[in-house]
Chain A
Amino acid sequence: MKPPLMILLVPFLISILYFSELSGQVKPANYGNIPDELVAYDKYMKAYKYHFLEPTQFYGAGREKLPPSDLKEIRLGFLGPLEGSVILTLGKQMLQGSMLAIEEANKKGGYKGIPYKLMIHNDVGLWGAAANEVVKMDDEKVWAWLGTIDDNNSHVAIRATLKLEILDMNTGDPDPTFTETAIPWVVRNIPDDRQSGYVLVDRIFKRDKHSRVAVMRVNSRYGRVGILHFNRSATRVGYPIIIEERFNDGETDFKNQLEHIKKTSPDAIVLWANAKESALILKQIRDLGMKQPVYGSDRMVNPEFLEISGSLAEGVVTTCQYNPDANDPKLKAFKTNYLKRFGQEPDVFAAHAYDGTNMLIEAIRKVGLNRVLIRDILTDMKTFQGYQGVTGKVIFDATWNNIRPIFIAEVINGKFKFSPAPPLEKSEQIYKKPKSGYSY
């Protein structure tokens, strides 16, 4: 190359290098493990604002507040479905998981010799009562609280927790919108349905090569919001759901909905419901002579599902937020102790409640009795980032949602077998980068 040309070229290249970085559309890491091909509108234009890429700070007062000196017990709140709910069994497991963690902590001396106490509240799904329960917890002077599973109640409760400034450790609600409220007082240690949706889309459409998929879901917020990202993602990868049928909690006869599904000749069926209904639907699918493979939400991973569906469950594929069969001494000890204490195997809600309670206890051990400081340490993205519980690691995103990799659960020989969900890979055939961005 001739020197005069180099004279012009070198500064030019330096400028290009710099300014391309300065003014170019540098795409940030996707929020919530969203695969590139599923980023909203990304095929067509850049959004003006991407939320949830940085944690919401809490700028309020309270860090200077000293704890009372005359405490007889260290209170932690518990909000769960314990009465009058269709998911009582899940609530019971969740409570037992929390209780075990509390009992273990108290055997070790509690907090500076003061025992922990769980202040137990039923979440009752009617008329926003969960909010009233959080107010009661404030009156009881809890330092933080755990709960709940039903997303209607969780949402109502966290608005109260924001007002009252008490940290909520959620261990059982997989509603993706729960942490998308930007409330800096909410932490969730269980991976959400966004993750399940992406894994199922990858499995059903890309790996198992289905294209005509029917959905049967419970007509509740759990069903509506749970299936949301699966449905949207299916459309984005080119296979919109061909039919979605719904039913109400407590129904046992699904023939009408299944007849509709049958007429559309799907090549796979996805169920988003609780364990009992999922099993009953599966039986009635087969009764109608439908032989399509069945996939479903993680609530199928429950002994009740296997018990009701029997051999028909063979081959059913779903997801699970952790691997209950992992060869981990901590998990094994937890399972042994849980079985010994409560006479039953722990489920996913028990395991995550155990971990969540231990995280609260650990936070209090580190910072003492101050609600804001407990919040601060649990959300600092350092202290509990990578926290190793019996359910695995905690990997918080900027909304304090646990986005660690989840597991595929497949029924083989009458039992759920767990395997890591394959990493989500970009499909060039489907995904095309936008040629131009949107600018103001």
Chain B
Amino acid sequence: MITVIMKRLFDKNFIRYSTIIIILAGIVVAGIILLNKPVQPEKNKKDDKLSVSGNYHNSSDVDLPGSSGVIKEAKAMPVYGHWRNFTTKDGLPSDKAYTVRIDGDRVLVGTHDGLAVFENNKWRTYTTKDGLAHNGVVSIDVSELTGDVWIGTLGGLTRWSSGKFTTFTQFNSGMPNDLVYCVYCDGKDIWVATGGGAGHYDTRTGLWDIFTEQNAPMHEPWTYGVSAGDGKVYIAAWGGGVIEYNKETRHFRDYTDPDGFMEIDLQPDDGVVHDITTATTYADSILWVSTYFGMSRYDGKNWKGYFNTDSGLASNFINFLRAEGRVVFVCSDNGLSSTDGTTWVTYKKDDNSENGEAIITNGNMKKEVPLSPSISHNFIIGVDANENYLWVATSKGVSRGELLH
């Protein structure tokens, strides 16, 4: 028996074939290891030419109209840099900023401890002592018609007009509920999203309408966001998808996730990605909808879903979004994203420094542009943009970025 084994061991063919098998197996295993090797993050590959820091000089490398001009990969998407951050040390009443709204030359910031107004490079705070309904200011909008500032707080809605604060609550008006998650000015009409339903205030008649599951196709009265455009109002109904209200016909319709299950999204492009919606925004004939499970885009005919796994979205947990033209700014719990539906620019701060990067993605293309400094925190709650600046409300301060052009 031993002799047979020894003969077999030293059989030339056996050794030859075994060697070939081992080599081939080795090649296959090595190939698999190489294929599986994690790609080194671009984060560490600092490109000084693209670094957007204090000594940055504008580039003339403009590739498309409206583009940032400095980063070709961003195509027509704006990119913001030269970030300046504001906290309580700079005069904010609280580092926890819920919302931000640009109002001409001044900027209004809602914080946990009051309304902060940035004007002439200084912050001024307004609280309940000045007439605010509550110090927790979670939403702000400015009427284009009158210039009045409408302030949604944790304890009622406040109108700031000609220096005077007037408060609406569910006890002194037709407000559905005192916790105003979102306020939106649409001409003479003021819309609010509250935990007790959506409210509509006609500033000319002084009358309120309340929309709940009793008179609108909502599953429940809980609403979280509201926006309007092209004759329609879009309500983010928590658990009920998006409720569309046609101002002319006064008819409602709803958009929900067709699969009907909370725990899955069967197909990403069959409707809103989840029924728990957190915000809506409408611009350039596009409705954008955020959820805690991803984001959706609706062009009136087709839906498109976006997740952090198949796009440049920073995170699926989205607190708020705002569209300006064809670009939507997305406030997620782990970074600020912006997109036109194709190209993405996502801003993230490094964990252990004030620096960060703008991550530009388009399909398989990905470019990381170092920013120094970056946004003040990655937990983004509010955003607003004008021609030159992007303002961001975060869990730890407010940030202002300059358009790089």
Contacts and interface: CB of A to CB of B under 8 A. Distances in A.
Interface of A: 3-4, 6-7, 10-11, 14-15, 18, 31-32, 34, 40-41, 45, 47-52, 56-62, 127-132, 135, 138, 152, 155-156, 159-160, 163-164, 176-177, 180-183, 221, 438, 440
| A-B interface, 8 closest residue pairs, ranked by CB to CB distance from nearest | A128-B196, A128-B195, A3-B17, A47-B264, A61-B396, A60-B379, A131-B195, A60-B395
A40 B24 contact: no
B195 A7 contact: no
A40 B259 contact: yes
29 contacts: A6-B17, A7-B24, A10-B24, A34-B263, A40-B263, A45-B266, A48-B265, A48-B268, A49-B265, A49-B268, A49-B293, A51-B264, A51-B293, A56-B292, A57-B333, A60-B333, A60-B379, A127-B176, A127-B177, A127-B221, A132-B178, A132-B179, A135-B134, A156-B196, A159-B224, A163-B138, A163-B181, A180-B276, A182-B276
A267 B355 CA distance: 68
B199 to A, nearest CB: 11
Given A135-B155, A160-B195, A182-B276, A48 B262 contact: no
B165 interface: no
Contacts of A3: 13-14, 17-18, 21
A128 B264 contact: no
A49 B307 contact: yes
Contacts of A59: 315, 333-334, 378-379, 395
A122 B32 CA distance: 61
A375 B13 CA distance: 66
Given A50-B263, A131-B179, A160-B179, A181 B25 contact: no
A182 B317 contact: yes
B64 interface: no
Contacts of A160: 154, 179, 195
B264 A50 contact: yes
B324 interface: no
Contact of B28 (A11, A129, A156): A11
Contacts of B317: 56, 182
Contacts of B221: 127-128
B72 to A, nearest CB: 28
Interface centre among A52, A59, A164, A181 (most CB of B within 10 A): A59
B96 A61 contact: yes
Interface string B160-183: 000000000010000011110100
A32 B154 CA distance: 33
Contacts of B170: 127
Contacts of A31: 263
Contacts of B268: 48-49, 440
B10 interface: no
B13 A58 contact: no
Main secondary structure of the interface of B (DSSP, over half): loop
A86 to B, nearest CB: 18
A14 B264 contact: no
Given A15-B32, A56-B317, A164-B154, 20 more contacts: A14-B28, A41-B261, A48-B264, A50-B263, A52-B263, A56-B292, A57-B333, A57-B334, A60-B395, A61-B377, A128-B194, A128-B221, A131-B195, A132-B155, A135-B179, A155-B238, A156-B222, A177-B262, A180-B276, A182-B317
Given A49-B294, A135-B136, A135-B154, A155 B259 contact: no
A61 B29 CA distance: 44
B59 interface: no
B239 interface: yes
B386 interface: no
A125 B66 CA distance: 51
A438 B269 CA distance: 13
Interface of B: 13-14, 17-18, 20-21, 24-25, 27-29, 32, 95-96, 98, 134, 136, 138, 154-155, 170, 176-179, 181, 194-197, 220-222, 224, 238-239, 259, 261-268, 273-274, 276, 292-294, 305, 307, 315, 317, 333-334, 377-379, 394-396
Contacts of A183: 292
Contact of B25 (A10, A45, A182): A10
Contacts of A32: 263
A317 to B, nearest CB: 27
Given A61-B95, A128-B195, A160-B179, A47 B266 contact: yes
A227 to B, nearest CB: 15
Nearest to B221: A128
A48 B396 CA distance: 34
Contacts of A11: 21, 24-25, 27-28
Contacts of B20: 7
Interface centre among B29, B220, B377 (most CB of A within 10 A): B220
A62 B333 CA distance: 14
A163 B98 contact: yes
